Amino acid sequence: MTIAEKILAKASGKKEVNPGEIVIAKVDVAMSHENGRMVKKAFEKIGIKKVWDPEKIVIIFDHRIPAESEKTANLHKEMREFVREQGIVNFFDINTGICHQVLAEKGFSRPGIVLIGTDSHTTTAGAFGAFSTGVGATDMAGVWATGEIWLRVPSTIKIVINGKLPPGVSAKDVILYIIGQKGIDGADYRSVEFHGETVREMSIASRMVLSNLSMEMGAKVAFVPPDEKTLEYVKARTRYPYEVVLPDEDAEYEDVWEFDVSNLSPQIACPHTVDNVKPIEEVEGIEVHQAVIGSCTNGRLEDLRVAAEILKGRKVHKNTRLLVIPASWEIYKQAMKEGILEVLIDAGAVILNPGCGPCVGAHEGILGKGEVAISSTNRNFRGRMGSPESLIYLGSPATVAASAVEGKITDPRKYLGGK
């Protein structure tokens, strides 16, 4: 069996399962952010007074923090009261970070578990070997009530990535390239497993990028098989049980995709779809008004480090504004200790509190009519970051930083010794 099949078999009390089979799986972690209010409403309609397990539900405020409107403030207030009433232990208010990063840092993302979240990028935890996927509010209300969820067992695509990444090229470029090759529905409702020497060499943070963005090609779950790097990270952070689950050597895959990234260029997802991907050589020179480094995709320490490397001793272009959003306060503090934030501030960047603000077009830097953004976030849909008449290009943190310096889409390799 594949990783997905093994985890779902165990979670549903079966010896084995097959693709297409419907199972009722026990949930280990149920995560919601501010949209927990929608889950709460659906849960109340069920008529059950108490959630199934207040220790397995995780609530994290991250999308609109601090509250940008009275409506959001009231939503936050209602959810804080619900958390207290239900005795939900794992509540993280506005001072913690973006949900997918917090799940990892606080030891909830771990091998072999079933992790369900009311956010599409919940696939991120697959980087730790979790069966981790996003669902809607009514599905989550059922989880809150019963601790179980029905799932169709997905077939699995094995993705093998080999080759040493050139300087200035990162995991973000790799996954954008794959999405560009396979399309937004290339892995629709499939499990994907990332294998190969390139993946093994990647940091935990880079692996999270692969799993995070896999849902932009439709993946239900996206695994990096756990190894020593995984266990070193998880052991230091979790107090909860976990079990390393690896695919059988004779696991049956629907398909195998193989890529050699030795000569890969930085990649750009052009408006208005994530699979409209082009090598940077084809889009260099497009003027940008706003540059954004952050989000659940690329707001980790290695992302801020490469941005600082490019921006040290330089200034953000006079016609461009640079927003930097660490993915969590843990990352924020470490970047502060290392002097990264000072470098970025001296260059002219605006450092925002950890959260989703601009990425979801909520606040803290939405786009005006006709404006162009280069962003390390995960979606470039029309109107995603503000005006439906704005344009969003997606790239790596290095690409965003280099573009911020020049005021136009710029190949970062010339700043990092790669070209």
pTM: 0.95
CA distance 407 to 317: 5
Give me the pLDDT at residue 65, please.
Answer: 94
CA distance 98 to 293: 14
Count, residues in the chain: 419
Give me the pLDDT at residue 361, please.
Answer: 87
CA distance 299 to 103: 14
Give me the pLDDT at residue 251, please.
Answer: 96
- Rounded to the nearest 10°, the torsion over CA 132, 138, 139, 142 is 120
Task: Please state which architecture CATH assigns to domain 267-415.
Answer: 2-Layer Sandwich (3.30)
Closest among 268, 272, 265 to 409, alpha carbons compared: 268
Q: Which residues pair with 159 in a beta bridge?
A: 194, 257
Per-residue pLDDT in tens (0 to 9) along the chain, 419 residues: 999 999 999 999 999 999 999 999 999 999 999 999 999 999 999 999 999 999 999 999 999 999 999 999 999 999 999 999 999 999 999 999 999 999 999 999 999 999 999 999 999 999 999 999 999 999 999 999 999 999 999 999 999 999 999 999 999 999 999 999 999 999 999 999 999 999 999 999 999 999 999 999 999 999 999 999 999 999 999 999 999 999 999 999 999 999 999 999 999 999 999 999 999 999 999 999 999 999 999 999 999 999 999 999 999 999 999 999 999 999 999 999 999 999 999 999 999 999 998 888 889 999 999 999 999 999 999 889 899 999 999 999 999 999 999 999 999 999 997 66
Tell me which amino acid residue 14 is. K
CB neighbour list of residue 77: distance below 8 Å, 6 or more residues apart: none
Give me the pLDDT at residue 417, please.
Answer: 79
Task: Scan for tokens 């949930």, then name that residue.
Answer: 27
CA distance 391 to 398: 19
Which tokens belong to 136? 């809607």
Closest among 240, 286, 252 to 109, alpha carbons compared: 240
Which tokens belong to 56? 């397995």
Give me the pLDDT at residue 419, please.
Answer: 66
Cα–Cα distances (Å) from 51 to 40, 108, 149, 275, 402, in that order, read 10, 19, 14, 39, 48
CA distance 83 to 81: 5
Instruction: Answer whether CATH 3.30.499.10 is correct for domain 3-259.
Output: yes
SS3 193: strand
Tell me which amino acid residue 375 is. S
Same fold, 3-259 and 267-415: yes
DSSP state of 268: E
Answer whether 38's CB lies under 8 Å from 138's CB: no
Sequence spans of domains, the chain? 3-259, 267-415
